[in-house]
Amino acid sequence: MKQPEVFHLPKRKLTVADVLSLIVTYAFLIFVALIVLLPVIYIVMMAFNAEKSLYIDTIFPTKFSLGAFERLFTQTNFLLWYLNTMIVGALTAAGEILLVLPTSYALSHMRFKGRKQYLMAFLVLQMFPGTMAMVAYYVLLNMLGLLDTYFGLVVIFSCTAIPGSTYMMKGYLDTIPRSVEEAAMLDGASRWQCVTRIILPLAKPMIGLLALFGFSAPFGEYMMSKILITNPNRFTLALGIYQGIFSQATTDYAMFAAAAILSSLPMVVVYMSLQRVIMEGLSGATK
Amino acid sequence: MSDQSVKETNQTVPASHRRAARGEAALSLLLCGAGYFLQRSYLAGVLSVLAEALAILLFRVWGLDAIRGLITLGETEMRDHSLIMMVYGILAIIVFAGFLIFWIGTVASTYRNGLKIRSASYTPIRLKERTGEWLHEHAHVLFLAPGVVAIAAVILLPLVFSICLSFTDYDAAHQPPAHILNWVGLKNYQDLLVLGQYAKTYFGILGWTAVWAVCSSVLPYALGITIAILLNNPRLHGRKVFKFIYILPWAIPGYITLLVLQSMFDTGYGFINQILGLFGVDNIRWLTSVTPARIALIIVSIWTGFSYPMMLSENIIRNISKDVYEAAVLDGASSIQIFFRITLPLLMHSISPIFIMSVAGAFNNFNTIYLITGGGPLNLDYQSAGSTDILITWLFKLTITNNKYNYGAAISTVLFILIATFSIINLRKTRAFSEEDMLA
């Protein structure tokens, strides 16, 4: 979709007040930018530093080294954690989409008794975070023998995301007029054909967005994984980096920095490059 | 649709028809779906009766014991596991409540069907067509079923389970299966909210939780909105570069940011104290003394949280219709008037529901607190909590470290009620509920 141009007032001659306000604006924006960049610069410096400790004696490391990356791959199971996280992420995305699509379609494009109550219930359930039910999840997964499995994590990640994602998806589907479907049905199309031929193709951007969010869920989540996963071979990145590197008795900070960079880089690239699409999708969903 | 048609026919159908339909509905109430047989809807009748038979069988074989187990929570130690019995009991209640709703639905639909087949315009149709019609009318059930079942199992069941736990004595001294749990009524709530050391801790933490929830949502939104507005200045250059930088905190996975920031706030070697040292500021004990720790947390929440509202506001400002502005300029409005009368109100109108949800989210912002300060520094006036603990991290500690599962469950129940009430009251005031397209 083409973005509308920003509207600007007709340009006047630059006054002193304008120049002053422009200077203040620049100063403020640059100050915030520096603060934002500070941790990023810090972590990059640390990763390429030959020292392992937290202390950096000069702003630019004098002793450049790739040792931290080497240690990361030889001393820890970094690649395994990465793989685990991607498996959980991919399954979460798939599960979430399969569950959210039919629900949001019904809530958006069908009219039936109790529809408002469903929407209301979803809104309330959306505020219920998994943290509150950690004992319940532990007991339930234990009963089902799903502790220490990817499946347990996937079920929790994808199902707890249903209410929120359904709201997003419903908002998006609402922008597809129902008259399109009604016309198709008058022409003899079945409900199923409407869904597969009209709705699904139109909803592709939002499906992609949900897939992205579902995929990145295990990359950012720490607590639920900590409670449910104890086997080091099943660690996700969050668990591995925190328990295997960060909270060791003598933390190898350079190695931590290297792990932080490698595990966030793909996410940063994807989110940055899809930024515009994501914002369009979200604003469509919240309209 | 179907409701309307029933209402319409209601005015025209003679009382005798209604009486007959009511009689059939009553029969359906006695035996699920039996009324269908009188209406010659044999398939529907057989299926409904079968459903009831299945439900009764399930109830005899499993449900009765499960619900009894929920009431007693077991009698023999080591043989009865109270927690598992509780899960089955809740599951049984959810399943049979579902059946009950189906039954009531059957009674209502027997009545509707009874009116329909007696109306003058009704022409009997073949079973196949009738089935097709039924499927069309009930298609939403098929679409909703997967999501609803998943929510019932993964959100509703754990939610009810947690609430149930808060009425038991499940703690370090009572751990199944070695011990049988007991229902203790409101005792946990009394301990937490009314008397003793825990109540003191609870209200102390509640105060900071409220401050934290407000600060860690208002400040990032304020900064994000400010930046979005500043970026909208036509004379500004390098907008893309600024935006690129500002989006970084949103793109980096949360816990990575938090761990990095935690090491930057380190007292002895942290990067922040190093930089402040250049300006002659003495080492600040960021994470080990109360006020600096709280300030550090709020700084962190601003750092991690301002990108999203910035992007949202930017998008909203961009999407405000040009016509509105042009009309305002034609009417001679100044740029300041345009900002305060058009841009800002429209922005607030669009962003307020998301803002309210983010306040609700701040109450549950476990990661920031846990990974930055871990709730510390320890507060000796508190029961196993630190000065920067919020309710959700305290309940985590009570549960995981102290095995006070019952208190943890009680706190999470109170917290859920607090958040849900807050959000619903506030969301009602926003467009989310007033406008047709959100809850339409």
Residues B171, B292 share a domain: no
Rounded to a whole number of angstroms, the distance from the CA of B381 to the nearest CA of chain A is 25
Of B151, B246, B395, the CB nearest to A159: B151
Domain A72-286 in CATH 1.10.3720.10? The answer is yes
Q: List, in order, residues 6 or more apart from B189 with CB less than 8 Å away.
A: B166, B410, B414
Asked whether the beta carbons of A157 and A164 are under 8 A apart, the reply is no
CA distances from A53 to A42, A50, A73, B323, B372 (A): 13, 9, 19, 58, 19
H or E element that contains B367: helix B366-372
Which of B155, B185, B215 corresponds to the end of one domain? B185
Kindly state the average pLDDT of the residues A74-99. Answer: 94
Residues B142, B196 share a domain: no
Partner-chain contact B248 A268, CB within 8 Å: yes
Of A9, A139, A282, the CB nearest to B87: A139
Partner-chain contact A124 B312, CB within 8 Å: no
Partner-chain contact B409 A283, CB within 8 Å: no
Phi-psi category of residue B160: left, alpha or beta, with phi > 0 → left and psi -120 to 50 → alpha: alpha
Instruction: Name residues of chain B where pLDDT drops below 50.
Output: 1-9, 435-440
Residue whose entry in the numeric block shows the structure tokens 């200045």:
B233
Burial class of residue A51, CB neighbours in 10 A (0-12, 13-18, 19+) = middle
Tens-digit pLDDT profile for residues A107-131? 988 888 888 888 888 888 887 777 7
Q: List, in order, residues 6 or more apart from B75 with CB less than 8 Å away.
A: B180
Asked whether the beta carbons of B238 and B420 are under 8 A apart, the reply is no
Q: How many CB pairs under 8 A join A and B?
A: 260
| Res A60 pLDDT > 70 | no
Chain A: residue whose CA lies nearest to B413: A132
Rounded (10°) angle between helices B344-363 and A275-286: 90
Q: What is the tally of structural domains in chain B?
A: 2
Residues B232, B114 share a domain: no
Residues B175, B195 share a domain: no
Cα angle at B133 between B127 and B136, to 5 degrees? Answer: 140
Residues B240, B111 share a domain: no
Q: Give the range among A26-35, A55-64, A217-226 with minimum mean pLDDT.
A: A55-64
Residues B129, B193 share a domain: no
Residues B210, B81 share a domain: no
| Res A1 pLDDT > 50 | no
Any idea what DSSP says for residue A193? H
Q: Give the range among A10-14, A274-278, B277-281 with minimum mean pLDDT.
A: A10-14
Question: According to the model, what pLDDT value does residue A2 have?
Answer: 44
Following DSSP, what letter does each residue of B290-345 receive, concatenated? HHHHHHHHHHHHHHHHSHHHHHHHHHHHHHS-HHHHHHHHHTT--HHHHIIIIIHH
Cis peptide before B177 (omega within 30 of 0): yes
What range defines the domain where residue B170 resides?
A: 2-185
Chain A: residue whose CA lies nearest to B353: A286
H or E element that contains A219: helix A200-220
Partner-chain contact A163 B322, CB within 8 Å: no
| Res A5 pLDDT > 60 | no
Residues B221, B173 share a domain: no
Question: According to the model, what pLDDT value does residue A11 have?
Answer: 61
Partner-chain contact B162 A136, CB within 8 Å: yes
Of A25, A120, A283, the CB nearest to B236: A25
Q: List, in order, residues 6 or more apart from B192 with CB less than 8 Å away.
A: B198, B199, B202, B407, B410, B411, B414
Question: According to the model, what pLDDT value does residue B437 have?
Answer: 45
Which candidate, A115, A134, A207, places its Cα nearest to that of B438?
A115
Which of B167, B185, B203 corresponds to the end of one domain? B185
Phi-psi category of residue B332: left, alpha or beta, with phi > 0 → left and psi -120 to 50 → alpha: left
**Which pair of structure tokens corresponds to residue B432?**
């989310």
Question: Residue A144 in 3-state DSSP?
Answer: coil
Residue A182 has a CB neighbour count (10 Å cut-off) of 12
Sign (positive/negative) of CA torsion A108, A110, A116, A119?
A: negative
Q: How many residues are listed for chain A in this entry? A: 287
Of B257, B274, B318, the CB nearest to A4: B318
Kindly state the average pLDDT of the residues A238-250. Answer: 86
Partner-chain contact A124 B424, CB within 8 Å: yes
Partner-chain contact A268 B251, CB within 8 Å: yes
Asked whether the beta carbons of B438 and B421 are under 8 A apart, the reply is no
Question: According to the model, what pLDDT value does residue A180 have?
Answer: 86
Chain A: residue whose CA lies nearest to B164: A136
Confidence band of A211 (pLDDT split at 50, 70, 90): very high
Over pLDDT 70: what percentage of chain A? 91
Residues B421, B376 share a domain: yes
Taking contacts as CB-CB distances below 8 angstroms, the residues of chain B near A7 are 320, 322, 325-326
Q: List, in order, residues 6 or more apart from B55 with CB less than 8 Å away.
A: B32, B96, B99
Residues B218, B179 share a domain: no
Partner-chain contact B329 A9, CB within 8 Å: yes
Taking contacts as CB-CB distances below 8 angstroms, the residues of chain B near A143 are 84, 87
Tens-digit pLDDT profile for residues B22-75? 888 888 888 888 888 888 888 888 888 899 999 999 999 999 999 998 988 888
Residue B104 has a CB neighbour count (10 Å cut-off) of 13
Question: According to the model, what pLDDT value does residue B435 have?
Answer: 47
Rounded to a whole number of angstroms, the distance from the CA of B13 to the nearest CA of chain A is 23
Asked whether the beta carbons of B369 and B258 are under 8 A apart, the reply is no
Which candidate, A152, A236, A88, places its Cα nearest to that of B255?
A236
Which of B165, B185, B205 corresponds to the end of one domain? B185
Of B140, B150, B271, the CB nearest to A112: B140
Residues B181, B300 share a domain: no
**Which pair of structure tokens corresponds to residue B404?**
């006070």
Interatomic CA distance for residues B22 and B16, integer angstroms: 10
Interatomic CA distance for residues B160 and B94, integer angstroms: 10
**Which pair of structure tokens corresponds to residue B170?**
């499940």
Query: What ranges do the domains of chain A cover?
Result: 72-286
Partner-chain contact A264 B312, CB within 8 Å: no
Partner-chain contact A129 B366, CB within 8 Å: yes
Residues B363, B260 share a domain: yes
Query: Residue B210's Cα: distance from chain center in Å?
Result: 19
Question: According to the model, what pLDDT value does residue B221 have?
Answer: 96
Partner-chain contact B303 A36, CB within 8 Å: yes
Residue B170 has a CB neighbour count (10 Å cut-off) of 29
Of B3, B253, B364, the CB nearest to A263: B253
Residue B324 has a CB neighbour count (10 Å cut-off) of 14
Q: What radius of gyration do chain A's Cα atoms show?
A: 24
Asked whether the beta carbons of B256 and B369 are under 8 A apart, the reply is no
Partner-chain contact A103 B87, CB within 8 Å: no
Question: According to the model, what pLDDT value does residue B214 have?
Answer: 94
Interatomic CA distance for residues B76 and B156, integer angstroms: 29
Interatomic CA distance for residues B298 and B211, integer angstroms: 10
